[in-house]
Copies of this chain bind each other. A is one copy, B any other.
Amino acid sequence: MYDHINKNISRYVTFYPEELEIFDSLTAFEKVPKKTIMLHEGETCNFEAYVVKGCLRKYYIDANGFEVILQFAIEDSWIGDISFSIYETKPSKVFIETLEDCELLVFSPEKKEELYTKVPKTERVFRILMMRNLAVTQERLFNTISKTATEKYLEFIAQYPTIPQRVAQHYIASYLGISPEFVSKIRTRLAKG
């Protein structure tokens, strides 16, 4: 049950077994069915989740009503609203939705703060997780600005080869900032070589 999450956080910091026990005890296991919107825009986000099994997406809705996907989360990754903290309970601008039946290990803001107090080392873990997330987001911003739609598509399927098999194609379009029709045209163009 907790093996994977313990391995995940131990990549960055070494923990004693007692510390991992505290860590695990502060999470809540949740099964969430497919197509559940766990966080609506305007709500305050009251969770941060590690994905044991399943697939989720986090997205904005723009001024014209179009969705822009910020993140896909699959096994062994984290998802939550960034401004997640008991001190900063701003209403969220994003939606989080399950795309498959999911098994999650969830922190509430209070438990997260309790964790920081009881096992201060975890500050370091989440600092490093943030850093890696930021690095990925910066890289993606750079790609969005400087690459063509075809390049973006090719790099996406190279970097996340399993995602196209799991989610609808128009979600990938929304992630890449391309119209669904144009993704289709890119694919036929590539198939013809």
Interface residues, chain A, with chain B CB atoms under 8 Å away? 60, 62-64, 66, 68, 70, 82-83, 85, 116, 120, 123-124, 126-127, 130-131, 133-135, 137-138, 140-142, 144-147, 177
Cβ–Cβ < 8 Å partners of A66 in chain B: 146
CA gap between A21 and B51 in the complex, in Å:
41
Closest B residue to A90 by CB, please name it. B135
Closest B residue to A81 by CB, please name it. B135
CB of A144, distance to nearest CB on chain B (Å): 5
| A142 and B60 contact, CB distance less than 8 A | yes
CA gap between A143 and B7 in the complex, in Å:
36
Closest B residue to A116 by CB, please name it. B124
Residue in A64, A131, A177 with the greatest tally of chain B CB atoms within 10 Å: A131
Instruction: Using A82-B135, A123-B124, A130-B130 as known contacts, say yes or no to A144 and B145 having CB atoms under 8 A apart.
Output: yes
CB of A65, distance to nearest CB on chain B (Å): 11
CA gap between A137 and B132 in the complex, in Å:
13
Cβ–Cβ < 8 Å partners of A145 in chain B: 68, 144, 177
CA gap between A85 and B134 in the complex, in Å:
14
Instruction: Using A116-B124, A123-B124 as known contacts, say yes or no to A82 and B134 having CB atoms under 8 A apart.
Output: yes
Closest B residue to A94 by CB, please name it. B138
| A82 and B144 contact, CB distance less than 8 A | no
CA gap between A177 and B144 in the complex, in Å:
9
Closest 9 A/B residue pairs (Cβ): A145-B177, A127-B127, A130-B130, A62-B146, A123-B123, A134-B134, A82-B135, A137-B137, A123-B124
Cβ–Cβ < 8 Å partners of A126 in chain B: 127
Which listed residue (B83, B120, B142) contacts A135, Cβ 8 A? B83
